Structure 1
Amino acid sequence: MLEVKNLCKEFNNRPILKDISFTLKDGEIMTIVGPSGAGKTTLLRIIAGLETKDSGEILIDGKPYDPGNVGVVFQDFNLFPNLNVLQNITLAPTMVLKESKAEAEQNAQKLLDQLQMNGREKQYPYQLSGGQKQRVAIARALAMNPRILCYDEPTSALDPNLRKEVEKMILDLKKSGLTQLIITHDLTFAKNVADQMLKVQPLSEA
C-alpha cells in the first residue's frame, strides 16, 4: 500500500503542492486530474524519486519507500532511438538488476506477448506507432519489477480512437495485481479506469 502524507513542494518560493495526502491500496488504480499548473507531474516525479519533496512522507506498507519500487511511463516514452524494442526493454534489467542476457530477453518476451507486441522485437522506435511505443515503454518499466507503475498523460500522444485500447491495457495490467498511478487531463478516461480519483488545482486558484 502506498501512503502519501502532507506532501509539500515549492519552486522559487512558489507553492506547487501543499499538504497532498492519499492512500493507494495494492492492485488499485488512482488517477490524478487537474488543469495545467496544478502540480500533477511534479507529484508523479516526487513519487518516482525524480524530484525531491520539501516536506511530508511517502510510505510503502508503512515503511519509508525505495523509489526503485516505482516505474514510470513518460509522456514522450523516452525510448532509446538507437536500440531496438528488445534492447530497450533488456538494457536496465541487465545493467541494474544484473540479470543475464538470456533471462532479461526471456522476461522481455513475456511482457511483449502480454502487451500484444510479439513479432516487433527487432524493430526500432521510428518504425512504431505512438501506441506501440507506449507499449514498449510500459514493458520497459515492468521489466524492472516495480510495485507501482506511474503514467504521465498516457492518452495525450495518441489518436483519440486509441483511448479505449489504452484503457483495456491498463485494466488488464490491474488484473495481474499491479498498482497504477495515472496523471491525466482526460476526465472520461480517468473515470473509466480509476478505483479512486484525486483532483488537484493550482494553488493560486485553490
Structure 2
Amino acid sequence: MLEIKNLTKQFDGRTIINDLSMTVADDEILAIVGPSGAGKTTLLRCITGLEKPDSGRFYWNGQEFTPSDKKKSQSIIGAVFQDYQLFPNLTVLRNITLAPQLVKKMESAEVTEEALKLLKRLGLENKDQLYPYQLSGGQKQRVAIVRALAMNPKILCYDEPTSALDPALRQEVGQVITDLKQTGMTQIVVTHDMDFAENVADKIMRVEALS
C-alpha cells in the first residue's frame, strides 16, 4: 500500500499542492483527474521522484521512502511518460534492457529473456528489433510500459497515457492497464479523459486548481 501524508508543493511562491494525503491500496488502479493547472501532473512527478515536494512523507507498506532517491525508490515506482521517452537510436529491445542492466546490474541474458516475455505479454512479439520510428503510437505506448515493467516496480504511474491516441488505441491501452491489474500491479493514472478513467479505475481522485 502506498501512503502519502501532508504533501505540499509550491512553484515561485504559488501553492500547487496543499497538504495532500492519500492512500493507494495494493492491486488498485487509481485515476487522478482534474482540469489543466490543478496539479495532477505535479503530483505524479512528486510520486515518481521527478519533483521534490516542499514537505510530505511517502510510505510503501509502512516503510518510509524518498521517491527522488533513485537507488532506494527504483524498485517501488515505475513511470510511463506522456511522450514515451524512448531512445530513437536504440531498438525496442535495447530500450527495454538498458536500465535493468545499468541500474540493477542484471545480466544481459536474464534481462533479454524477461524483456521478450513482457513484449509477448503485451502483444509485441517480433517487434524487439524495430526502432521507435517504425512503431505506431499505441505500440510505442506499450513499449514504454514494458520498459517500466522490466524494472519490476511495485507501482506503475502513467502521465496522460491516452493523450496522443485515437479511440481504438485508447481502448487498447486501457485493456493493457486492466490486464496488468490481474498480475497484482498497483497503478496510478493521471488523465484528463474522464471516460477512460471511469473505464479503467477502481477509484477516481479529483483535484482542483487552488485559488
Q: Check whether TM > 0.5.
A: yes
Partner of 1:2: 2
Take 1:156 and 1:29, find their aligned partners in 2: how far apart are those partners? 18
1:145 corresponds in structure 2 to 152
In structure 2, the partner of 1:131 is 138
Render the CA deviation track for 1:156-203: whole Å, top value 9, x for unaligned: 011122221111110000000000000000001101111111100110
Q: What is the alpha-carbon distance in structure 2 between the residues aligned to residue 161 and residue 115 of structure 1?
A: 16
Distance 1:201 1:12 in 2: 19
SS at 1:104's partner residue? helix
Aligned residue number for residue 11 of structure 1 = 11
Aligned counterparts of 2:171 and 2:89: Cα–Cα separation in 1: 30
CA distances 1:54-104 after superposition (whole Å, capped 9, x unpaired):
112111111112431100000000000000000000000111111111111
Runs of 4+ with >2 A deviation:
none
Q: Give the secondary-structure state (helix, strand or coil) at the position aligned to 2:163.
A: coil
Name structure 2 gaps, 5 residues minimum. Answer: 66-71
Indicate conservation of the 8 Å contact 2:142/2:173, yes or no.
no
| Identical columns (%) | 60
Q: By how many angstroms is 1:20 displaced?
A: 1.4
**2:37 maps to what in 1?**
37
Distance 1:158 1:137 in 2: 14
Residue 86 of structure 2 contacts residue 132 of structure 2 at CA under 8 Å; is this kept in 1? yes
Q: Verify: 1:194 aligned to 2:189, yes or no.
A: no
Aligned match for 2:88, one of 54, 59, 81: 81
**Equivalent position of 1:27 in the other structure:** 27
Kept in 2: contact 1:47–1:67 (CA 8 A) = no
Instruction: Quote the RMSD (CA, aligned, Å).
Output: 0.8
Between stretches 76-85 and 48-57, larger displacement belongs to 48-57
**1:158 corresponds to which residue?**
165
